[in-house]
Amino acid sequence: MLVSFLETSFHPKAKAASVKHPLVTAMLLFLLLGPSVQATQYRIVTEDWGPYNYVEDGQLTGLATHIVRRIMALTGDDFEMMVLPSMRAAHALQTQGKTIMYAVFRTPGREPMYKWVGPIVETAIHPYQLASTQNPINTLEQLLTAPRIATRRAGLIPTMLQSWGFKNLDKSASNSVQLYRMLMAGRASIIIGDTDAGVAYHSAELGIAPDALRQIPIEIFRAPFTSPSAVTATTSW
């Protein structure tokens, strides 16, 4: 997963940077978020997507959130940070100036829309099914004809799956937690929506045993791009 700020045009070297370690990324952003940024008040938005950004005990936290806060500590900024539903956060980024969004999947289609800084970590998204299933899925052909695949209502992953010809998608879930509940209740045979770290996070959150889910050996997306790259984005100054 990548975290970047969309719109960092004031530092040309940022476009060529490819940083994999969170601390190095933080230092890169410290260089980028210089006086020209400090003179302006920005709003930072994100979605609830553990373990990278999520709300715990009423507070926004997570791997990517810690890095963004660290950047602001280094630059002396205290921008407002808020969690919005995925589509509302993306809409704010696209339509409202002085907006920063993290963490966002970086794709060829999105590349020209924003200025990017990152990545923070490399990660991948795989389908998951119950380990006890009598019909383990191992190929893309099997996945295309699986009984029911649950994914989130909107966003990059359902859009990608539809473009690949998937006709077996259940897009009724508005968040990740609903995907796991659907799978455990037998209302879906497969779920697709989280990184492997996200699957571990939500499994622990919901009390699902670590060996209860089976990773299907098909990479839906990888960051950096072989599949999505999560980055942070900002709109134009």
How far apart, in whole angstroms, are the C-alpha atoms of residue 96 and residue 94? 6
99 phi and psi angles, rounded to 5 deg: -120, 135
C-alpha pair distances (Å), 40 with each of 8, 36, 91, 97, 121: 13, 7, 21, 11, 28
Domains (ranges, CATH) in the chain?
43-123+224-229 (3.40.190.10), 127-218 (3.40.190.10)
3-state secondary structure of 211: coil
How far apart, in whole angstroms, are the C-alpha atoms of residue 236 and residue 100? 9
**For the segment 12-43, what is each residue's pLDDT rounded down to a tens digit?**
232 323 333 333 333 334 334 445 455 578 89
- The predicted model gives 128-135 an average pLDDT of 97
Paired tokens of 92: 């704010």
Give pTM, 2 decimals. Answer: 0.76
What letter does residue 61 receive in the DSSP assignment? E
Paired tokens of 157: 């992953």
How far apart, in whole angstroms, are the C-alpha atoms of residue 217 and residue 220? 9
Whether residue 115 is predicted with pLDDT greater than 50 in this model: the reply is yes
In total, the chain counts a number of residues equal to 237
Handedness of CA 146, 224, 45, 52 (dihedral sign): positive
Q: Which of 146, 52, 50 is nearest to 102 (CA)?
A: 52
Whether residue 102 is predicted with pLDDT greater than 90 in this model: the reply is no
pLDDT score, position 38: 55
Whether residue 88 is predicted with pLDDT greater than 70 in this model: the reply is yes
